[in-house]
Amino acid sequence: MNQQIVSNSIQEINHYNRVLEGNKRYVAKKLSEDPNYFKTLSKGQSPKYLLIGCSDSRAPPNELTETDPGEIFIHRNIANLVIPTDLNLNCVIQYAVEHLHIHNIVVMGHTCCGGVKAAMTQDSVGGLLDLWLNQIKLVYEKHADLIESFVDENDKINCLSQLNVRAQVMNIWKNPIVQKAWQKGNPVMVHGWLFRVETGYIEELLIDQHTPEEMCKVYALKFKLESEKQLSKHVSPAGSPKNNAKKRFLNMQRKLIEHINQLKENNIIDQDVETKEIGGFIESSKDL
């Protein structure tokens, strides 16, 4: 028994060392291609894509798309879920959209997804995991008839994987950070991909771009943008231009009433003149 444990431990250590050795080979290869590769990389990033993928070790975004470090901003979790209250993911989306100015967000699911498969069963996989997978069960519940129309079990899983990507794309549409970006005129597009593990190909799912018609209108938030906030800052508080204008208006109104009363006292005003005076006052107040 002890012999077996020692043997297993040696295997684990060897494997672990192999991973670190792999890094050394990676560095050597990159430097042989470009001696300044890592110096350049250290200067900063300007990725064009945010990819939200599954943590599954078979679905590494950079390898699958032949992209280099610095090209894709990546967030991964079990079954590529976009949960509205996920602080981690929301920070990633906000940083990607507002600071990295990324215009393309991709949700990438994959076939043979263990998370999706687990969500389709009644077997518990543990408290937190069950809670997490509930989000996929919601998608299943909505499309149960379609999913169950497939005979093959893998087809059912892959169908739910695809529907799950669509559901997560819609969750991004509903995300306040993305909604705000749209209102500011930032054309953030959200794409849905399904990576087919059995072929290696990525299938682009046809989801209407930027036209979330399926989305209930209450999700389309109306934000007070910075420029409007600045404007209201200058026009509403005490002492602000708008307030001064109001003061000027009240002063002028008071002066006008005094002036009309004086004319009346001197019997040099009739109703027509009064109306004319007031009309002139209103005209002169338009620029306030």
**Which residues here bind Zn ion, judged by CB under 5 A?**
54, 56, 113, 115
CB of 205 to Zn ion, least distance (A): 16
Q: Which one from 18, 25, 56, 152 is the annotated catalytic residue?
A: 56
216 labelled ligand-binding: no
- Given the complex with Zn ion, which of 115 and 212 has the nearer CB atom? 115
- Let me know if 54 is a catalytic residue: yes
* Shortest distance, position 168 Cβ to Zn ion, whole Å: 12
CB 146 to Zn ion: min, Å:
20
Q: How far is the CB of 50 from Zn ion (least distance, A)?
A: 18
Options 15, 18, 34, 58, the catalytic residue: 58
Nearer to Zn ion, 49 or 132 (CB): 132
Whether residue 143 lies in the annotated active site: no
Identify the active-site residue in 103, 112, 113, 152: 113
SS (HEC) of 231-284: HHHHHCCCCCHHHHHHHHHHHHHHHHHHHHHHHHHCCCCCHHHHHHHHHHHHHH
User: Could you please report the per-residue DSSP string of the chain?
Assistant: -HHHHHHHHHHHHHHHHHHHHHHHHHHHHHHHH-TTHHHHHTT----SEEEEEE--TT--HHHHHT--TTSEEEEEETT----TT-HHHHHHHHIIIIIS---EEEEEEETT-HHHHHHTSS----HHHHHHHHHHHHHHHHTHHHHHT-SSHHHHHHHHHHHHHHHHHHHHHH-HHHHHHHHTT---EEEEEEE-TTT-PEEEE---SS--TTS-GGGS-----HHHHHHHHHHSSTTSHHHHHHHHHHHHHHHHHHHHHHHHHTT---HHHHHHHHHHHHHHTTT-
Q: Which is nearer to Zn ion, 125 or 177 (CB)?
A: 125
Catalytic site includes residue 234: no
Annotated ligand binding at 56? The verdict is yes
Catalytic pick among 15, 18, 34, 54: 54
> Is the separation of the CB atoms in 83 and 135 below 8 Å?
yes
User: Quick check: is 166 catalytic?
Assistant: no
Closest CB 115 distance from Zn ion, rounded Å:
5
Of 72 and 81, CB closest to Zn ion = 81
| Closer by beta carbon to Zn ion, 111 or else 175 | 111
Q: Is 113 a catalytic residue?
A: yes
Binding-site annotation, residues for Zn(2+): 54, 56, 110, 113
**Catalytic site residues?**
54, 56, 58, 110, 113
Q: Point out the annotated binding site.
A: 54, 56, 110, 113
